[in-house]
Chain A
Amino acid sequence: MSDMVANSPEADGAPDVNNNPAESVAAILKERFPEHVIDDTREGYEGLMVTPDKIVEVTTALRDELGFNYLASLTGVDLPDEGKQEVVYHMSNLVQGGGPLTLHVQTDRDNSVVPSITPIFPGADFQEREAWDLLGINFEGHYDLRRILTWDGFDGHPLRKDWREAFYEEEVKPFGSRWPGGEVFRAEESNPYGKNVKYPEGWVPTGSEYDVETDMYMTGLENSMDPGSGMRTDKITVNIGPQHPSTHGVFRLVATLDGETIVGLKPVMGYLHRNHEKIGERNTFLQNIPYTDRLDYLSSMSNNHGYVMAIEKMLELEVPERAEWIRILMVELTRICNHLWALGFLLNDLGALQTPMLYFYIERELILDFFEAASGARMMCNYMRFGGIAYDLPDEIRGQDIMAFLDELVNERLPEALDQGDGLMTGNEIVRARSIGVGHLSAEDAIGYSVAGPMLRASGVQYDLRRADPYSYYEHLDFDVPVLYNGDIFDRYLIRMMEMRESLRILRQVLPYIKETTGAPTSTGKPQYAIRMPRGGESYGRVENPKGELGYYVTARRRDSNPQRYHVRAPSFINLTPLEKMSLNQKIADVVGVLGSIDIVLGEVDR
C-alpha cells in the first residue's frame, strides 16, 4: 500500500485486527472439550472440528460465555468421496469483531444426522431447513424441518453430488459438446414440455400427497372466545402472494388472523429457486462472477465484491490500489442505489404510492448510468475480477468528464436528493403513525435470529463488517456506523437514510484517491480464463452488503477449476427468519410494511 493510504485519517474505534478473538476462543474450547473439539487439520481449512454430540454444548458455551453470540452462517457440504457430510458454522463476535470462528461437524453420509442448534440460535431455523432441503442433513430437534426452497414433493436432495438436474450434460463446465464439433441444440428439446414429468418407479398417486401444506392452514380452524362480548370467533387463514405486488416478488405469506390481528405467519419461498449453488458447482470459478449479479440484482457490484474476495483469498492475490478504490466507489454507490430502492418501496408499501419511489428512481438512474458507462450494464454489472476490476473507469459519461460527473453526483445531486427525501417523508405524520412502534425487534432477538445489516443496527446492535472485520481499504476511511435503538419500521427507515449519508461521506474521501491514482494498474497479472486452485481448502469471503452480511463459502480441491462447494450466505433470506416474530399481534396491513422494512430481494432469498 502506498504512502497516501498510510497518511489517511485513522478511523476511531476500529477494532484491533491483529488480536483475533477467534483464535483464543478456539484454544479455550479445545481445552474444555478435549477429544470432542480438535483443530481442523485438512489442507487449507481453518477453525475447529467438533463431534456432532457436542455441537449444542459448544455453541451454548460460545453464546453464553465466550462472546461469540452471533451465528453468521450455517451450511452443509457433501463429501461423497469420504462418505461424509459436513455442517459448517461461522460464528461472529459482535463486540470485539475480527474474523469468524469456523466450526465443522461431520456426519455419516448415509445416515446424516446432526443435532439442531435452533433452541440456542433461532437464526439457524431457515438455514437448517435449507441444508435439509438441499443436502438431506437431518437436524434432530428442529421444530419444523420441512423443505424450504424446493417444493414438498421434490425427489432427492439436489446439492448432493450424485443428484442430477433434468438438463444434465456433464459434471462441470466447459461442456465437451460445444467445441470443436459443436452441434447446436436447445436444452429445452432434450426435455420437452409435456414429457418432462417422471414419477418414481412403483409410485401410485393416492391424492393425499397434495395435502403437504395442510399443517400451515390447520391453525385457522381453531376458534377463540372474544373476552368482551363472549362471542366465539373463527380464525381466518389468509394467503398473501406469491403473486402480490407488496411481497416484492414471488413470495408467499400464510397469515392466520384473529379479526385483523396476526396470530401466526408462515413465509413460503422458493418460487424463484434455480439452485444457484448447484450451478455454481458446475461453473468454473470465473463463470460464477456474472451469476452472482443475479442474486441480489439491485446490488450486483457488492455481490461481485464478496465473491471475488473469497476466491482472492484462495488464490492469494493482491489487488492493486486503484482497483480497491474503484471497488469501494462502486460498492458505496451500490449501497445508495439499493437503499433508495428499498426506501421507495417501503414507503410504497406503507401507502405512499409511487411518489417517493419515483423521486428516488431519478437519482438511482443516474448511478445506473454511471455503472453502465463503466461496466457495460446497468444492473448485471459483472465488473470485478480476481485481482482487480474488468476495466478502468471510462473517460466520460454523456459527454461529461467522468471525475466531474462523480464530483457533482456525490457532492451536489445526491445530498440534495436525500434532503428532499427527508423532507418528503421523515416528518410525515402518516408515515410516522404507520411505522413508529410497528414490527418491533429487540436487540437480543435481532442477534439470536442472525439478522444482519440495517435491520440489526436499527435494533441497537452496532455491528458493521466494514468496521468489525475490515476488508479492502475500509479501515483507512473515516465513517460512522449509525445505530438506532427502537427496532421498529421507522428506525429501519431512518437507519437507511443515515447509511446513505455515511456512504456519501466515504465517497467524498475516495474520489481524491481515484483522481490521484489515474493511470495506475487496475488488475494484477494477466487475465486468465481457466483458473486452477493452487491449493485445496475452504474460504469464506464476506462483505457488508446493503442488506447485511453477504458471505460466500467456497471449498475447492487442489488443481480444480470448479468449486467443490459454493454457498451463499444470503442476507435477505436470513433476515426473513424473524418475520413471524415481528408480525405477531400486529394488524395485517402492517405485515406488508414489516416485510418492506426487511428489504428482501427474491433473487437472493430463493437463490
Chain B
Amino acid sequence: MYGSGLLKGLAITMRHFITTYVDDLKWASRGGRYYNDEALTVRQSLKGQGVSTVFYPEEKLPTPERFRFVPFLVTDDPAPGTQWGKEWCTACGICAKVCPPQCIWIERGKQPNGRPKSEPEKFFIDIDICMNCGFCAEFCPFDAIKMDQDYELASYDRSSAHIHDKERLSKPLSYWKEIAPKKAGAEEEIRVFVDELKAFKKANKGNEDAADEPVFSPEKAKQLHYQGKYY
C-alpha cells in the first residue's frame, strides 16, 4: 500500500516518543531521571532508552581514566605548610621534541657553576596550539608530564591566559592518583620494581652466585597494561 513505509517510520518515531515518558516514569520513584548520577549512568549506557541528552553543566559525563586533555606537570605532594612540592621534570626535553604542534617550551636550569641542572627553569605550554595527542605523557621517561582531564579552560583573554607556565601546569601526584587511579597505581609499581632491580644489581655486582633477578610476576604485569609499553 502506498504510504505504508511512511506509517512504519512514523510508528518508530512514536515509539521513541512514548519510551521517553515511560523512562521518565520508571525513574520517578528513584530520584528522577535528570540531575541524578545513577540515572545518568544508565541513560548513557547500552541500556539507555529514550532521551539521552546530558544537561551540561549541571550534569557532566564521567570521563574515562584515559581521557586526555592539555598536559600538566607532576610534582611531589607539597609538605605541610608549603605551596609546592618537588618537580619531577628533569628538563630532558623529550616532550618538547616529540610534540607534534611544538607547543612546549622548556628552559633548562643552570647550576651555580654553569653546568645544566636537571630541572626546568621555565616550562610553557601554549594550549591554543596543543592538540591533546598525549605523546608527551606517553614518551616521558620520568612520568613527569601527564594528560589532565579538566576540559573547562575557557577564559576571557586568550593572548595571556592560554600560555600556561610552570606554576599553572604543576599539580601534585595526589591529583594524578585521583583522576587516573589505575594508571597511577601501575606506574607506581613499575617505579618500585625498577628501584628494586637497580638496588639488586648494585648489591650483587660481580657476584655470580646471587639469587635470580627480581622479575615481574604475570599478575603484576596484568595490572600494568594501562601503559602500553610494558605489556
A residues near B (Cβ < 8 Å) are 173-175, 177-184, 186-187, 283-284, 286-291, 355, 359, 362, 365-366, 369, 372-377, 380, 382, 385, 388-392, 394-395, 397-400, 405, 408-409, 412-413, 420, 423-432, 519, 521-523, 526-527, 529-530
Bound Cα distance from A394 to B131, whole angstroms: 23
Given known contacts A178-B106, A182-B105, A427-B4, is B96 in contact with A519 (CB within 8 Å)? no
Q: Assess whether B201 is interfacial by the CB under 8 Å rule.
A: no
Chain A residue with minimal CB distance to B102? A175
- The answer on a CB contact under 8 Å between A382 and B124 is no
- The answer on a CB contact under 8 Å between A394 and B133 is no
Given known contacts A398-B44, A399-B41, A521-B231, is B96 in contact with A179 (CB within 8 Å)? yes
Interface 0/1 of B31-65, CB less than 8 Å to A? 00000000001001110100010000000001111
Bound Cα distance from A359 to B222, whole angstroms: 38
- The answer on a CB contact under 8 Å between A373 and B64 is yes
Interface 0/1 of B112-144, CB less than 8 Å to A? 000010000011101011011111001100000
Bound Cα distance from A99 to B116, whole angstroms: 53
Given known contacts A398-B45, A399-B41, A413-B46, is B138 in contact with A390 (CB within 8 Å)? yes
- The answer on a CB contact under 8 Å between B108 and A428 is no
Partner of A522, one of B64, B138, B228: B228
The residues in B between 1 and 15 inclusive whose CB is less than 8 angstroms from any CB of A are 2-6, 8-9, 11-13
- The answer on a CB contact under 8 Å between B132 and A427 is no
Chain B residue with minimal CB distance to A393? B225
* A and B contact pairs by CB, cutoff 8 A, 7 listed: A180-B93, A184-B163, A355-B13, A362-B52, A373-B66, A376-B64, A529-B98
Chain A residue with minimal CB distance to B8? A423
A39 to chain B, nearest CB (A): 37
Q: A180-B116, A182-B105 given. 17 additional CB < 8 A pairs?
A: A174-B96, A174-B99, A179-B91, A179-B93, A182-B96, A184-B126, A186-B159, A287-B135, A290-B133, A362-B52, A372-B67, A376-B66, A391-B225, A423-B8, A427-B8, A430-B6, A529-B97
- The answer on a CB contact under 8 Å between A392 and B68 is no
Q: Assess whether B104 is interfacial by the CB under 8 Å rule.
A: yes
- The answer on a CB contact under 8 Å between A523 and B6 is no
Partner of A382, one of B48, B52, B134: B134
- The answer on a CB contact under 8 Å between A186 and B163 is yes
Given known contacts A184-B105, A290-B133, A376-B147, is B100 in contact with A283 (CB within 8 Å)? yes
- The answer on a CB contact under 8 Å between B106 and A182 is yes
Q: Inside 8 A of A530's CB, which chain B residues have their CB?
A: 97
Given known contacts A182-B107, A521-B231, is B97 in contact with A397 (CB within 8 Å)? no
Q: Assess whether B229 is interfacial by the CB under 8 Å rule.
A: yes
Bound Cα distance from A382 to B101, whole angstroms: 14
Q: Inside 8 A of B62's CB, which chain A residues have their CB?
A: 398
Q: Inside 8 A of B229's CB, which chain A residues have their CB?
A: 523, 526-527
Interface 0/1 of B202-231, CB less than 8 Å to A? 000000000000000000001001111101
B137 to chain A, nearest CB (A): 10
- The answer on a CB contact under 8 Å between B96 and A429 is no
Which 10 A-B pairs rank lowest in CB-CB distance, beginning with the nearest? A427-B5, A182-B105, A179-B93, A290-B133, A287-B100, A180-B108, A184-B124, A376-B68, A376-B66, A174-B97
- The answer on a CB contact under 8 Å between A400 and B45 is yes
Interface centre among B9, B13, B107, B108, by most A CB within 10 Å?
Answer: B9
B residues near A (Cβ < 8 Å) are 2-6, 8-9, 11-13, 16, 41, 44-46, 48, 52, 62-68, 91, 93-94, 96-100, 102, 104-108, 116, 122-124, 126, 128-129, 131-135, 138-139, 147, 159, 163, 182, 222, 225-229, 231
Chain A residue with minimal CB distance to B100? A287
- The answer on a CB contact under 8 Å between B66 and A178 is no
- The answer on a CB contact under 8 Å between B138 and A527 is yes
Q: Inside 8 A of B107's CB, which chain A residues have their CB?
A: 180-183
Q: Inside 8 A of B6's CB, which chain A residues have their CB?
A: 428-430
Bound Cα distance from A408 to B94, whole angstroms: 41
- The answer on a CB contact under 8 Å between B102 and A173 is yes
Given known contacts A180-B93, A184-B163, A428-B6, is B135 in contact with A522 (CB within 8 Å)? no
B12 to chain A, nearest CB (A): 5
Q: Inside 8 A of A390's CB, which chain B residues have their CB?
A: 138, 228
Q: Inside 8 A of B122's CB, which chain A residues have their CB?
A: 182, 184
- The answer on a CB contact under 8 Å between A428 and B5 is yes
Q: Inside 8 A of A382's CB, which chain B residues have their CB?
A: 133-135
Interface centre among B104, B138, B229, by most A CB within 10 Å?
Answer: B229
Q: Inside 8 A of A395's CB, which chain B residues have their CB?
A: 182
Bound Cα distance from A425 to B8, whole angstroms: 9
- The answer on a CB contact under 8 Å between A182 and B5 is no
B45 to chain A, nearest CB (A): 5
A591 to chain B, nearest CB (A): 25
B98 to chain A, nearest CB (A): 4
Q: Inside 8 A of A523's CB, which chain B residues have their CB?
A: 228-229
Q: Inside 8 A of A529's CB, which chain B residues have their CB?
A: 94, 97-98, 135, 139
Q: Inside 8 A of A372's CB, which chain B residues have their CB?
A: 63-64, 66-67
Given known contacts A376-B66, A522-B231, A529-B135, is B8 in contact with A178 (CB within 8 Å)? no
- The answer on a CB contact under 8 Å between B100 and A391 is no
Bound Cα distance from A521 to B231, whole angstroms: 6
B183 to chain A, nearest CB (A): 10
Bound Cα distance from A400 to B47, whole angstroms: 11
Chain B residue with minimal CB distance to A527? B229
Chain A residue with minimal CB distance to B98? A529
Bound Cα distance from A428 to B2, whole angstroms: 9
Bound Cα distance from A179 to B228, whole angstroms: 27
Bound Cα distance from A284 to B100, whole angstroms: 8
B70 to chain A, nearest CB (A): 12
Chain B residue with minimal CB distance to A519? B222
Bound Cα distance from A405 to B134, whole angstroms: 26
Partner of B132, one of A183, A288, A380, A423: A380
B210 to chain A, nearest CB (A): 27
- The answer on a CB contact under 8 Å between B97 and A420 is no
Chain A residue with minimal CB distance to B116? A180
Q: Inside 8 A of A412's CB, which chain B residues have their CB?
A: 46
- The answer on a CB contact under 8 Å between A290 and B100 is yes
Q: Inside 8 A of B131's CB, which chain A residues have their CB?
A: 290, 380
Partner of A408, one of B46, B96, B102, B139: B46
Q: Inside 8 A of A426's CB, which chain B residues have their CB?
A: 5
Bound Cα distance from A177 to B124, whole angstroms: 12
Partner of A377, one of B68, B93, B97: B68
Q: Inside 8 A of A428's CB, which chain B residues have their CB?
A: 5-6, 8-9
Partner of B228, one of A392, A400, A408, A409: A392
- The answer on a CB contact under 8 Å between B134 and A376 is yes
Bound Cα distance from A344 to B94, whole angstroms: 43
